[in-house]
Structure 1
């Protein structure tokens, strides 16, 4: 049976051990050490670096340190070289934990490299460093001589701040055989010592007994304490005082003012006289109790004389005694409970802090580790810790009263570059108390934004003939990043303009974005330039964006009108146009054709007749350049009419060109020559020059006449259906001489005075559109006129015969 019980106890102990191991493993990263009290300063406690797995040659890189606790003495220090936990103060278990059975000093160790907090528990074990001791002075016990044998009288108990076997284990009484000692162990483990009367006393035989009471603890080595007890034998007093109740319980609030009365105890003695007078006194009261309360010996009133602080002591317990002058007494117990007031605000301390964080840091990044303490207890010591603003941060509770401040959302420096995080710790007392702490945090920039231009595309205008190096316009891009990440440089993306690279025409200031022209542009050659500009920041890696730029070259009035018809002869002569004398008003004599290389308003041309031999005889269309007769020809009108035509554009300032047109009033060239020969040549200093001009005109006319014969022979095959072929009465053995002598080839003949000309131009192209109907109609009119066509097969025209001189005034 005993073996079964022993086996069962063994299994029960193993199960308890397993439960303790499992419970230990569930504690969040707790490391437990145990050391005895009163160790010398600098004594080894444990190897934290090894237990946390951070030992190595680079131990300092881990940032291993002890996190200080608010308002508490630091009993331990950490050797940063080897990671050993050492004692930094003398540790007195009794001073720290008092009568607590288990004394544990918690501390927290921070591993900054991991940003993690570890809890450490150091258990302080008791040593027998305190000897039992009694209240100071000689103890006095008064016993009435009529006390019966076996009467019991309480003796002062020895105090020993040690625990367990190191505390008081036994008492011994010496000095007289009339008394013995009875020690009883109470429910709380305390030993109650009573003096037992073994023999009846006789005051007349001996009125005083001197006894020695010795208290012994169970430590190794054993320590003892003694006190002297004087037993005074009193005369007979048959009624002892009696308290109204065995236990007096009072409740007071902490911070009660000094001098306040807590309550009163009362005892009654039915004796009269001196044996009925009572004296009240403390019994079994500690020094702390006597310094906190005053017990009136006459009235039994208990008064506060010290500073009552719940955080120092939440209750007081002691005994009071009422004794008459006959030596009889009674004792009662007094319990004073201190209620906690919310008189302490929470305390916040920063154990770890980083003042800056990258904006691309992942969520959950630890910014700070805070330690929150409240010296109140109960609901007054319960703390809620929160962030007072709506911010992308959160407080997460760690070990004990430690909180970690972490990020919960992505940070964007461009939206918020700095935070002042207000952390508020509030207790649950009434009224509640709170403490706030402001944690500044700077958000560091990362290159997460490319430069952005102000517009989706840019259009600029530049007048042609610009100066080289002239500023065209300026681009601007913004980058919301900071520092080098927002330092923007501009580049033109290389391209081609024709056969030349874009860089030979344009350049850009990489710092300011101003675009410059490297050459002078000509609208007639280049109207617009398309290219792209890149804006790139200075981040790593850099970010960039492109924009399309269009530069339109604007036209300037830098080209004077160019007269295409009549063209200026290269031999120095002027052209001659024929106008039949029978012409009606409005007859189209010829048309001045001009173009302007400019565009727009700068190319709008107008025609003016500046000078004429017979004013009012001819008119010219303002916009068409057509020269028409204004009235019928008269006999008095000069045979040769000189017209000076001015062609002017509409630019600012306008540019112009002029041409001299000679109109001869005749039906044919022979007639012209006959009429001109009858005109006497006036004496003119320039007659020689005129003679050479006439000779040159005649020579050119002959060559031109011969060319026309060949040309018409070839073209008759193509124009079978034209009205030239329908007119059977005509025999093209001779071709009319062009009304304008000295122009280029066949075009001078085809663009005769019967033609309609229209011109369209851009910067480099022109096209003539000839009205065939007008040409044919004019030719018919010539054939049907009253004047005989001098050009036929029977005529034998010799342009070089005769001494004819044609005089032209231009």
Structure 2
């Protein structure tokens, strides 16, 4: 618009004002008022009737009204008082926000004259708004390793008021770690910053609660608070720490595999991954890792294999606790292994004599033994003794050595070998024992002569034996051994009927069998008395004698020999006389015979083998007596011939016969007349 145009417009407005009789305090027909915000509805703003040069009642008569376009009607006319009043509660910040000056313009129309007046109302700010951070709490995460002096921008507060009523300053609640810095920029805005004054330690304090206070310059002053929660982020600045620098445990050696011994524990004041503790065995030489197992998560220490007190009585186990990123600390586990009686005594034969001569004096050393028990204390105290009733003693030597000796002299012939059992027993509960066996041979000495099984012997041999016949066998025993028990047999020199014994009998020196060197005749030699000697081969040799009686047994090798009647040497026949008057049983004669054999072979019996007059004579079976069996008759022949047989009882029996001539006559002369006619028997 040109200056001319502006001039013309203002001139017209000035003329209008003159015509209407109003007061224009500002040029160009503008009416200005000022009013504070937040007034109640109907609050007085200005006397618009007066400023328009009208009476209050004229406002309605002349159709005075407010003309406004596109805005909420904030003001209204009071026709009774002619005043301009507020149409509602006015909030300056709603209409003008942060503008330094808040002006509301509208027009008033005087309708009857079609006159327009411009009204401009300044809405004055009241301190009706406290600074506001638009959030209740701000969380800031700061690593505990952050360097002091580091700044952290904070949220700014907003105050819709203006001027002195607007935000004036910030203030931080008192604390030991942070301060506040306020940064101003060219437009006057202020930006608070949190400044770290002192190093943080999450383990000392995880969260810091601060309050940022924003204040305005109103009267009274209003303020707004922002809670600041500073969360200290963990840094891995702490290694795990064991609850004890040393853990001690005492365990028995016979614990089963897998038994938990103890649990170690380490704590890390860090958090999260930084506080994840794992346990490991420190690498050490030896077999600790093969014996013990440390659970990396729980810290349980258990055994992987059986402990043995005798191998190791003490273990020093170094362990580590390591957090997630790798910081670690170390501790020790001291394991003391307690002995249990799990080892039987050990018996070692250091020196041994396999044999000892019999009849050795008591105290003869046999063996040197050593006893040892790998256990300790009472479990390792060992006593050793000989089992059974044995002729041996154990004598204590130095340390754990014992000497096994004879308790008396030994006799190999009573016991040639001893199986000695030594029992070693410890003092545990229950006790454990070990048996050790020693075989001892008793060496023979020639202390026993050969002994025959009988005090004397009797042997029997039938006569007429073949030469070289085995007669008898003698046996001697020697309880000694080897050469001392090797026996030879011999006959003591003697004579039999003037001839050396060796011509009759021989003996096998090794077997003791006796042989006949010629045939014996019972009728010449009936018995022999021998002395047999048995000698061993010891040095010097020992011997013993036994008597042997050899009896020659009769054989029926001799026929009976008739002694009477003897055969005449002059060729005549002997005559026996039997009177005719002889009664039955009259003894006519007697046949006498002998047998050089003996016993049954010499038992003789007689019988009548043949008679010229059967039934006239009888022969006594055992006596050989010839007697009449009946009375003699006249018809009986003068001369009777009898054949008498004599027989022994041998097997087979042998016999002899004799012929008897019996003359039947009352007197000798009667017989003599016929003697010439009597001849000897042709067949005896």
TM-score, reference length from structure 1: 0.46
How far apart are the structure 2 equivalents of 1:593 and 1:616?
22
Partner of 1:598: 597
| Mapping of residues 287-306 of structure 1, within 5 Å | none
Q: CA deviation at 1:305?
A: 9.4
Deviates further, 382-391 or 246-255: 246-255
Partner of 1:262: 262
| Mapping of residues 244-259 of structure 1, within 5 Å | 250-254=249-253
Would the aligned equivalents of 2:263 and 2:298 in 1 still touch at CA under 8 Å?
Answer: no
How far apart are the structure 1 equivalents of 2:663 and 2:293?
152
Partner of 2:655: 656
How far apart are the structure 2 equivalents of 1:365 and 1:305?
52
SS class of match (2:677): coil
Partner of 1:130: none
SS class of match (1:583): coil
Partner of 1:671: 670
| Mapping of residues 429-578 of structure 1, within 5 Å | 429-578=428-577
Q: CA deviation at 1:268?
A: 13
- Flag the 1:280–1:530 CA change in 2: closer, same or farther, 3 A: same
Which has more helix, going by share of residues?
1
SS class of match (1:651): coil
How far apart are the structure 1 equivalents of 2:439 and 2:518?
56
Which has more strand, going by share of residues?
2
How far apart are the structure 1 equivalents of 2:468 and 2:299?
110
Match of 1:807 among 675, 678, 681: 678
Would the aligned equivalents of 2:584 and 2:629 in 1 still touch at CA under 8 Å?
Answer: yes
- Flag the 1:417–1:333 CA change in 2: closer, same or farther, 3 A: same
SS class of match (2:448): coil
Partner of 2:400: 401
How far apart are the structure 2 equivalents of 1:535 and 1:344?
59
Q: CA deviation at 1:263?
A: 5.5
How far apart are the structure 1 equivalents of 2:410 and 2:404?
15
Structure 1: runs of 5+ lacking an equivalent? 1-240, 323-330, 677-693, 695-804
How far apart are the structure 2 equivalents of 1:806 and 1:307?
137
How far apart are the structure 1 equivalents of 2:347 and 2:509?
53
Partner of 1:368: 367
State the number of aligned residues.
437
Would the aligned equivalents of 2:571 and 2:680 in 1 still touch at CA under 8 Å?
Answer: no
Q: CA deviation at 1:603?
A: 2.0
- Flag the 1:299–1:581 CA change in 2: closer, same or farther, 3 A: closer
Q: In the alignment, is residue 347 of structure 1 matched against residue 346 of structure 2?
A: yes
Q: CA deviation at 1:500?
A: 3.1
Partner of 1:381: 380
- Flag the 1:335–1:557 CA change in 2: closer, same or farther, 3 A: closer
- Flag the 1:633–1:401 CA change in 2: closer, same or farther, 3 A: closer
Would the aligned equivalents of 1:492 and 1:533 in 2 still touch at CA under 8 Å?
Answer: yes
Partner of 2:179: none
| Mapping of residues 200-219 of structure 1, within 5 Å | none
Would the aligned equivalents of 2:345 and 2:426 in 1 still touch at CA under 8 Å?
Answer: yes
Q: CA deviation at 1:310?
A: 4.0
Would the aligned equivalents of 2:251 and 2:261 in 1 still touch at CA under 8 Å?
Answer: no
Structure 2: runs of 5+ lacking an equivalent? 1-239, 322-329
Q: CA deviation at 1:400?
A: 0.8
SS class of match (1:503): helix
How far apart are the structure 2 equivalents of 1:487 and 1:598?
43
Partner of 1:618: 617
| Mapping of residues 745-760 of structure 1, within 5 Å | none
- Flag the 1:608–1:374 CA change in 2: closer, same or farther, 3 A: closer
Q: CA deviation at 1:618?
A: 2.7
- Flag the 1:571–1:445 CA change in 2: closer, same or farther, 3 A: same
- For residues 215-246 of structure 1, the C-alpha deviation after alignment (integer angstroms, 9 at most, x for no partner) is xxxxxxxxxxxxxxxxxxxxxxxxxx999999
Partner of 1:588: 587
Would the aligned equivalents of 2:573 and 2:680 in 1 still touch at CA under 8 Å?
Answer: no
Cα RMSD (Å): 4.7
How far apart are the structure 2 equivalents of 1:601 and 1:659?
22
How far apart are the structure 2 equivalents of 1:394 and 1:567?
91
- Flag the 1:563–1:317 CA change in 2: closer, same or farther, 3 A: closer
SS class of match (1:484): helix
Q: CA deviation at 1:476?
A: 2.2
How far apart are the structure 2 equivalents of 1:455 and 1:668?
70
Q: CA deviation at 1:348?
A: 3.1
Q: CA deviation at 1:281?
A: 13
- For residues 395-451 of structure 1, the C-alpha deviation after alignment (integer angstroms, 9 at most, x for no partner) is 332111222222224434344433443434343334544444433333322333333
Would the aligned equivalents of 1:315 and 1:335 in 2 still touch at CA under 8 Å?
Answer: yes
Q: CA deviation at 1:452?
A: 2.9
Q: Which structure: larger Rg? A: 2
| Mapping of residues 731-770 of structure 1, within 5 Å | none
- Flag the 1:253–1:615 CA change in 2: closer, same or farther, 3 A: closer
Q: CA deviation at 1:377?
A: 1.6
Would the aligned equivalents of 1:280 and 1:295 in 2 still touch at CA under 8 Å?
Answer: no
How far apart are the structure 2 equivalents of 1:586 and 1:290?
133
Would the aligned equivalents of 1:642 and 1:809 in 2 still touch at CA under 8 Å?
Answer: no
Q: CA deviation at 1:302?
A: 7.8
TM-score, reference length from structure 2: 0.53
